[in-house]
Amino acid sequence: MSDYSEILHWEREQEANSVASVLRRARALVDTPEKWCGGAVRYTTLLLCSATAIGMASRECGSLCDAARERFSSVIGAPNSINGIWKWNDAPERTHAEVLAAFDAAI
């Protein structure tokens, strides 16, 4: 790398492909109650649960999906699996604020 612009470009690419970046993008997908789905799945709307948001956010860098899911699972104390996150996300007592706090802690 011969100049600073190349270094900065490389650093931006690395950040875009980090676990924290995937989790930030996933959080943004559910950042309002109107975007988040907890409890019963609503197939007729475009609401997302935590697990689906992580999957969608990692589409561009799929290799990070498992690592992002693992970090989120460790924060919420759930088994490292889609089902573990779904179960936590869909618990009747789960609130949107708790979901955002979990993402913040994972990031």
pLDDT of 58-75, one tens digit each?
887 767 889 999 999 999
Is the whole model's pTM more than 0.75, yes or no? yes
Instruction: Give the up-direction half-sphere exposure of residue 1: CA atoms within 13 A in the CB hemisphere.
Output: 9
Can you give the length of the chain in residues? Answer: 107
Contact 50, 85 (CB under 8 A): yes
- Which amino acid, residue 4? Y
pLDDT of 7-64, one tens digit each?
545 555 555 568 999 999 999 999 999 999 886 555 556 788 999 899 999 887 767 8
